[in-house]
Amino acid sequence: MQGAPAATEWAFPNPATPPGSSAYYSVRFAPLGLRDDLAALLGWRHLVRSVVDEVSDRGVAARKLAWWNDEFERIFAGTGRHPIGLSLGPLIARAKLPRQPFVDIVLGTEAILADRRVRDVAALAALADLDLGALCELIARAHGETTPAGLAAVRSAGSYCGLVELVRDSGRLLRHERCGFLPEDRLSRHGMSHTAQTPTEIRKHLAPLLADLAGDLERHRDGMSHDLPRLPAVIRIRVRLADRLLAEIAASGFDVADQRIALTPIRKLWNAWRESRRE
């Protein structure tokens, strides 16, 4: 690993928590002493998930992801090569963070890269759990949460946020020839399949498919309402912003095939502040 000055690259704010982003506003309202730790966790997820967007060749992307998987093991052992290890290493030791959530983020990214097909909405939720579900577990553990019930609640909240992000990013994923994240049973309901249609053809009929999936996201959201008030503000803010984003996407008629819909920074700030006041 590089010297101590490199660690500041992953302090808050960092490339994973740029001002104006949902990640920024969720961490901004975390306890001051935790912000750099949380920014480092989001940094890990950012570095791993960026392989999906930054590397077009799937073979190269798979090798790069394998490197990140190996790098985590080096970070865990205190011999990491990337500067983010200077932030993650002490946090892992201090909060006794387990390996599995970090590995889950790699596995979820690997599934997107390989375009593995999900059979139904439950499998789609499991895919989202491997991404933001795992990240939210790490965030909760950094706050001191260790109970099975508490960790299950934060994984569910993260999975919901991950599902909303998949809906938001579905047009971009299809443009990159990735459609495995769309449940096979829902494609069949709309007269499509992974084998009969190309990602380009599916993209032309994406809006009604996403409108159908939105009902499942709402049921997922309803199922976690009881536990949500007890979760750390960082996670509650992400859920609230996901709620607002999903509503915005629905208002557009799920028109995300050729555009990326996002909340404005001022709306993110307002909603993050309001949620932080609910402590």
Binned average pLDDT, 10 residues per bin, the chain of 279 residues: 60 96 96 96 96 85 92 91 92 96 96 94 97 98 96 98 97 92 95 93 95 95 94 97 98 96 97 91
Residues 6+ apart with CB under 8 A from 195: none
* Residue with tokens 């077009």, as numbered in its chain: 56
Question: What pLDDT shows up at residue 279?
Answer: 65
254 belongs to a structural domain: yes
Question: What pLDDT shows up at residue 1?
Answer: 45
Integer-rounded Cα radius of gyration of the chain = 18
16 belongs to a structural domain: no
Q: What is the DSSP letter of 120?
A: S
13 belongs to a structural domain: no
47 belongs to a structural domain: yes
Distance separating alpha carbons of residues 270 and 260, to the nearest angstrom: 21
5 belongs to a structural domain: no
Question: What pLDDT shows up at residue 181?
Answer: 95
Question: What pLDDT shows up at residue 7?
Answer: 58
For the domain that residue 75 is a member of, what is the CATH number?
1.10.600.10
In total, how many domains does the chain have?
1
Among 83, 59, 70, 63, which Cα is nearest to 3's? 83
247 belongs to a structural domain: yes
Residues 6+ apart with CB under 8 A from 22: 237, 238, 241, 245, 263, 268
List the domain range (segments joined by +) for residue 228. 27-276
Residue 155 tokens read as 């994984």
3 belongs to a structural domain: no
Note the pTM of the prediction, 2 decimals: 0.94
11 belongs to a structural domain: no
